[in-house]
Structure 1
Amino acid sequence: MTGYDRPRDPLVLGVPRAAFRPSAIFLALVAIFVTSGVMTWNRFGNVRFDVFLFVVSGWLISLCLHEYAHAVVAYRAGDRDIAHRGYLTLNPLKYTNPLLSIVLPVVVVLLGGIGLPGGAVWVDRHAIPGRLRHTLVSLAGPATNVLFTLLLVLAVRVGLGVGGPLEFWAGVGLLAFLQLTASVLNLLPVPGLDGGNMIQPWLSPEYRRMYDLFAPYGFILLFALLWSPRIGNWFFGAVFDVADFLGLPPQLYVLGLELIRFWRG
């Protein structure tokens, strides 16, 4: 997600190269993802725990890349201060509150199998000229989720034909499903979420003031919408329909969700 109107840094200096280097935390997540993937493929030890590490680390990596996409497009669009805030280092701890950015999305994944939007990149919109650029900044994050969805579905469809451990492909299938749910959620026109932020620059001043009033409560609005049986059924029905259209086997991501709940034995 993206946030706006955070005060600008009082002094902007040249951006050091360190501001663009991947953080140690992100590199550690990549190492865990690769290692757990190899462990899952070889059914090393407790394969359910292997899949858990594989899916959770992969999901966290996608969260980092989602927010990085927002940040790098904002940087190229004119917000040079964003580099000083650490958003270009792929460090998940930089994306606002770690509880909302990391812990809550992971808990929702484990309990409900939903790719909940995570952290937020604060963008100084006064430094970015033009409504189209603002829309592109907000679009950049969901675009990464859509891209990951397509790549993971392709990997599943090719991989199932090639063969290999079912547990591994169940993990990849679950990651694809999480990316799909994240894509749909992030594109909903809810104030404060990426879908809403994409249209916010194009609203009239009156509607923009109303939008800005509700934007801080975007997460609450999202949960309220999904809690409604009618809207919740519509949302999940749409996600399942898209998954079927893409050729993602439902039994695969259902198995993946069961596997990552390793504590059930």
Structure 2
Amino acid sequence: MTTAITRSDRRVSPVFLALVAIMSVSAWAVWTDYAGSTGLAVFLFVVSGWIVSLCLHEYAHARTALHGGDISIEAKGYLTLNPLKYTHALLSIVLPVLFVIMGGIGLPGGAVFIERGRIRGRWKHSLISAAGPLTNVLFAMAMTAPFWLGALEGVPEPFRYALAFLALLQVTAAILNFLPVPGLDGYGVVEPWLSAGLRRQVEPFAPFGLIAVFGLLWVPEINQVFFTAVDAVLGTLGVPEGDTYWGLEYFRFWQGEPQVPLSP
């Protein structure tokens, strides 16, 4: 049985283009302090940037699956970068934004439904699962490029803080997604290499894997270890810990403009 493909199955969605436009305009507003609303601009930049990264994350899964043998991907609209094709409004947009507000954690939210039976080869299955979080890694590299390239001269501090905070979300998303926990991409990487019996035993726990991980993150000792690892990764990319803190403060614009100490 073949799947009918139309040109619209690959055309970039206007919804995605609108998100990119919001991200671009809000980035300009942060840079220029347009109308003195830097906090709101940072909020829009980070939220739109996060959803754009979610689209790219899921697109990477879908595109890799298509080349791996699942030709049903196109008909499902996954190659249009439309977040509405990947997401559930509550689970993929509202809850992730709430987690960002509460604690600065990038919650993995979207999902593409891959017909795994069409794909042959364990390496292909592993690569499909790894493609998404690797996109978060690349997004983090792009957001931190001014830091590790030493190109921060002339960059307004609020813009620098916004980049740092968005990069932090990408790093947290990548680390969480790479955990070999059922329901997360990391488990999808190792699952093809497990015995059929073990996979059957683990399968019932998949819907609860993400919930368990975030429950553990509320344990202070585990939370400290997790964010120490996140700060270490960002530190290797030249991002000071203080920049991500002030990025979160600007993001919470409803609390008022943060009083950032002047740089020496």
TM-score of the alignment, normalized to the shorter chain, above 0.5: yes
Tell me the residue number matched to 1:40: 30
The separation in 1 between residues aligned to 2:251 and 2:150, in whole angstroms, is: 20
Aligned to 2:227: 236
Q: Within 2, Cα distance between the matches of 1:155 and 1:111? A: 27
Name the CA distance, whole Å, in 2 between partners of 1:96 and 1:25. Answer: 13
Instruction: Please say which of residues 158-167 and 236-245 is displaced more in the overlay.
Output: 158-167
Distance 1:166 1:262 in 2: 16
Q: In 2, distance between residues paired with 1:16 and 1:254?
A: 46
5+ long unaligned stretches in structure 1:
1-10
Of 14, 24, 40, which aligns to 1:24?
A: 14
Corresponding residue for residue 261 of structure 2: none
Q: Is 2:65 the counterpart of 1:74?
A: yes
1:142 matched to 2:133: yes
Q: 2:106, 2:172 within 8 Å by CA — same for their partners in 1?
A: yes
**CA-to-partner distance for each residue in 1:111-137, whole Å, 9 max, x for gaps?**
211111111111110011111101000
Q: 1:50 aligns with which of 21, 41, 50?
A: 41
Q: Is the 8 A contact 1:32 1:53 kept in 2?
A: yes
Shift of 1:235: 1.4
Corresponding residue SS for 1:72: helix
Contact 1:100 1:118 (8 Å CA) reproduced: yes
Find the counterpart in structure 2 of residue 86 from structure 1.
77
Report percent identity of matched pairs. 52
Match of 2:159, as an amino acid? F
Of 182, 186, 197, the match for 1:191: 182
Scaled by the length of structure 2, what TM-score is found?
A: 0.92
SS in structure 1 at match of 2:58 = helix
1:205 aligns with: 196
RMSD: 1.5
What residue number does 1:131 align with? 122
CA contact (8 A) 2:4 2:75 kept: no
Shift of 1:88: 1.0
TM-score for both structures, normalised by structure 1: 0.92
Further displaced range: 254-263 or 214-223: 214-223
Shift of 1:87: 1.1
Equivalents in 2 of 1:32, 1:147: separation in Å? Answer: 21
Structure 1 Cα separation of the partners of residues 188 and 127 of structure 2? 10
Give the conservation status (yes or no) of the 8 Å contact 1:92–1:102.
no
CA distance in 2, matches of 1:210, 1:107: 33
| Per-residue deviation, residues 103-158 of structure 1 (Å, max 9, x unmatched) | 11111112211111111111110011111101000000011011111222222344
Kept in 1: contact 2:9–2:77 (CA 8 A): yes
Q: Which residue of 1 aligns with 2:244?
A: 253
Q: Which amino acid aligns with 2:68?
A: A
For these two proteins, the number of residue pairs brought into alignment is 255
Tell me how far apart the structure 2 counterparts of residues 233 and 84 of structure 1 sit (CA, whole Å). 43
Q: Distance in 2 between matches of 1:81 and 1:145?
A: 25
Structure 1 range deviating more: 231-240 or 151-160:
151-160
| Structure 1 position 233, deviation (Å) | 2.4
> What amino acid is aligned across from residue 195 of structure 2 in structure 1?
S
Segments of 5+ residues of structure 2 without an aligned counterpart are 257-264
Contact 2:3–2:71 under 8 Å retained in 1: no
- The amino acid across from 1:40 in the alignment is V
- One-letter amino acid matched to 1:176: A
Question: Are 1:78 and 1:128, in contact at CA under 8 Å, matched by a contact in 2?
Answer: yes
Separation in 2, partners of 1:231, 1:94: 34
